[in-house]
Amino acid sequence: MNLRGRHDVGGLPAGPVDPSHHAEADWERTATAVNGALGPSGAKLFCVDERRRTAEDLGDDYGRLAYYERMVLASAKLMVEKGVLSQREISARMAEIRAKRDNGAQ
């Protein structure tokens, strides 16, 4: 029986770690700012441990998604859990953003 979560990779074989840093995309900087505004250093709607739990609960998506993608999904999940936003509100806003992007608007 394997008791490891998808996120628990300590001690497993892995390739070399790439220590280089990349420039953050605009949406990644925005995600950091929103997370800070909602989390422990802002409105205190959630704590770091709650966000980590919701990220770890992403199942197979945890390993497939990049750090910022996990951060956004975990924070959105917490906002739904806490009744701050509904999944319907999040989905509607995402559809608006996609439509603007697809139409070339910013």
Q: What CATH code is carried by the domain that includes residue 92?
A: 1.10.472.20
Q: Does 47 reside within a domain?
A: yes
**Buried b or exposed e, range 62-72, using 16+ CB within 10 angstroms:** beebeebbbbb
Q: Does 9 reside within a domain?
A: no
Q: Does 43 reside within a domain?
A: yes
Domain that holds residue 55: 26-102
Is the model's pTM score more than 0.85?
Answer: no
pLDDT digits (tens, 9 = 90+) for 32-48: 999 999 998 899 999 99
pLDDT digits (tens, 9 = 90+) for 12-68: 787 787 778 889 999 999 999 999 999 988 999 999 999 989 998 998 898 899 999
Q: Give the C-alpha separation, 59 to 35, whole Å.
A: 21
Q: Does 38 reside within a domain?
A: yes
